[in-house]
């Protein structure tokens, strides 16, 4: 049995220590990644104070939300979104963290307009340009921002990135540093009122991410144990 309470406490301690080490005074929000775990795990985490959960598949999240009974929470989509799922994504997610192309941005805009919602999004960047990962390249930065500016029912809130999976998380510090610089540029262009989130850091590298400025960390395994997949 996974001891969610003890794991969650340990994760909070890791977040706290990383914040203190880096002299940060701002809030670091934990996104509990519940993909592949049952709704009972979501509910237990919420009883223990979790307020934001991350799911990477629309279908799985829709089903979990239907089963979920508990305090109101925020649902984040953190996985690649296909255009034929855009309508559901807009309906079921408070924040879509994984906007990784102009095409999906356009599909989200269209669906959000249909239901008269302003959809909060993050742009997902594949900073290390890993071929097996989704995400925008930095060379696409200006074009995607132009697309965002033309989208009436989309509100850009920041960016998300995943660092390469490595043994020693120190190795990915430069990736997080680049992401912070992008975040900083977005804040200068659009203001800190709108641009709120720099989403980076997972179970194995959250400390380095926080030290480099992450204020949303997406943590699954360290809370819920390993997944089937
Ligand atoms: C699964 C996943 C996470 C959580 O990863 P862990 O290593 O289990 O903490 C974070 N972000 C994304 C985009 C994911 O798909």
- pLDDT tens column, 82-91: 999 999 999 9
> Beta-carbon neighbour count of residue 156 at 10 Å?
23
CATH 3.20.20.10 fits 2-222, yes or no: yes
pLDDT at 227: 81
Residue 227 alpha carbon, nearest atom of ligand 1 = 8
Contact 161, 199 (CB under 8 A): yes
- pLDDT tens column, 144-173: 999 999 999 999 999 999 999 999 999 999
Chain length of the chain: 229
- How far apart CA 172 and CA 229 sit, in angstroms, is 23
- How far apart CA 133 and CA 3 sit, in angstroms, is 31
Q: Whose CA is nearest to atom 12 of ligand 1?
A: 78
The pTM (predicted TM-score) of the whole model is 0.97
Q: Is the CB of residue 219 below 6 angstroms from any atom belonging to ligand 1?
A: yes
102-114 vs 141-149: helix axis angle to the nearest 10? 10
Domain boundaries, the chain: 2-222
**9 pLDDT tier (thresholds 50, 70, 90):** very high
pLDDT at 229: 54
Q: Is the CB of residue 111 below 6 angstroms from any atom belonging to ligand 1?
A: no
């Amino acid at each position: 049995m996974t001891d969610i309470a003890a794991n969650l406490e340990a994760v909070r301690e890791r977040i706290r220590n990383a914040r203190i080490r880096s002299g940060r005074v701002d809030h670091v929000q934990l996104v509990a990644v519940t993909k592949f775990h049952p709704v009972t795990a979501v509910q237990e985490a919420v009883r223990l104070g979790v307020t934001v959960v991350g799911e990477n598949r629309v279908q799985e999240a829709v089903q979990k939300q239907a089963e979920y009974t508990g305090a109101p929470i925020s649902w984040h989509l953190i996985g690649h979104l296909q255009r034929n799922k855009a309508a559901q994504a807009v309906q079921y997610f408070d924040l879509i963290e994984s906007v990784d192309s102009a095409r999906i941005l356009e599909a989200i805009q269209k669906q959000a307009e249909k239901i008269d919602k302003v959809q909060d999004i993050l742009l997902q960047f594949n900073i290390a340009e890993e071929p097996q990962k989704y995400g925008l390249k930095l060379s696409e930065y200006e074009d995607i921002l132009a697309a965002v500016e033309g989208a009436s029912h989309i509100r850009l809130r920041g960016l998300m990135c995943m660092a390469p999976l490595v043994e020693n998380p120190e190795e990915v510090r430069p990736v997080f540093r680049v992401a912070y610089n992008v975040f900083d540029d977005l804040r200068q262009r659009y203001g800190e009122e709108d641009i709120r989130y720099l989403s980076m850091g997972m179970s194995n590298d959250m400390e380095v991410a926080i030290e480099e400025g992450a204020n949303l960390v997406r943590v699954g395994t360290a809370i819920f144990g390993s997944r089937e997949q």
